[in-house]
């Protein structure tokens, strides 16, 4: 039966990352110099992985990162899907994290305790993020089955990466904080989607197997990393 191999990567650093600014779907900065170096290192790590499809969120930092990966895979189809965007932190998007940490921590703790509808004012909840990624993954996996793709590279964002890993791999949103990340790290997961082209694909009913988690060996020689104050987002 067809097994899909997924490299789930976070984008490279932006000036907002470096300055410890809360960066959700309402903020759309490009990579900074460090982020370009990180993305280039990630591209090197993916160079020999035989990628069949490159998918990103609709935000510039993810698209720019994936474009550097795509340089090693010139004939590989490329798709940008806004359903994979970072969670919106609402009114706090773009604020200095040190200034709003108690508010963010409260919502993150509510998610850890099972209140997945908690949100910052005008922002998204964990359930909102989950609904988006389940819909996106259903379509992505259906197309991969139709086109017989086996190796997918998906470039996204820190919190939505936690949502994917908790909701699809662990089947438990309360475990979002169990998955650490840094800019341009990646998780490798696999899923058996079956070979019946007529069957629907419900990602919540599939078994996503973790192969490698929080891989960052390719970043070892890069000195600059985002401030640790943001590592829990």
Binding residues for substrate: 10-17, 61
Catalytic residue flag (residue 86)? yes
Which residue, chain included where needed, has tokens 């604020």?
Answer: 95
The CA-atom distances, in angstroms, between 186 and each of 42, 115, 179, 180, 211 are 9, 27, 11, 10, 11
Rounded distance between C-alpha atoms, residue 107 and residue 125, angstroms: 9
Q: Which of 86, 181, 187, 226 is catalytic?
A: 86
Does the active-site annotation cover 218? no
* CA 226/CA 233 separation, integer angstroms: 12
Numbered residues of the known binding site: 10-17, 61
Annotated catalytic residue, options 11, 157, 181, 218: 11
Give the residue numbers marked as catalytic. Answer: 11, 86
């Amino acid at each position: 039966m067809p097994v899909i191999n997924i490299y789930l990567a976070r984008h490279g650093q932006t000036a907002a990352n470096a300055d410890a600014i809360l960066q959700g779907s309402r903020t759309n900065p490009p990579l900074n110099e460090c982020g370009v170096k990180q993305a280039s290192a990630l591209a090197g790590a993916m160079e020999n992985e035989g990628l069949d499809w490159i998918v990103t969120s609709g935000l510039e930092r993810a698209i720019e990162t994936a474009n550097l990966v795509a340089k090693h895979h010139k004939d590989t189809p490329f798709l940008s899907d806004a359903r994979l965007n970072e969670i919106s932190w609402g009114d706090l998007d773009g604020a200095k994290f040190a200034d709003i940490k108690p508010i963010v921590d409260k919502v993150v703790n509510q998610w850890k305790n099972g209140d997945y509808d908690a949100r910052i004012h005008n922002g998204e909840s964990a359930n909102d993020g989950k609904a988006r990624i389940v819909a996106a993954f259903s379509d992505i996996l259906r197309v991969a089955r139709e086109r017989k793709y086996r190796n997918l590279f998906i470039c996204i964002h820190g919190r939505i990466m936690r949502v994917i890993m908790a909701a699809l791999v662990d089947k438990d949103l309360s475990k979002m904080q169990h998955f650490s990340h840094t800019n341009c790290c990646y998780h490798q997961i696999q899923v058996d989607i079956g070979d019946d082209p007529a069957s629907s694909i419900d990602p919540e009913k599939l078994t996503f197997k973790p192969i490698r988690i929080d891989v960052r060996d390719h970043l070892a020689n890069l000195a600059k990393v985002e401030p640790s104050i943001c590592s829990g987002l």
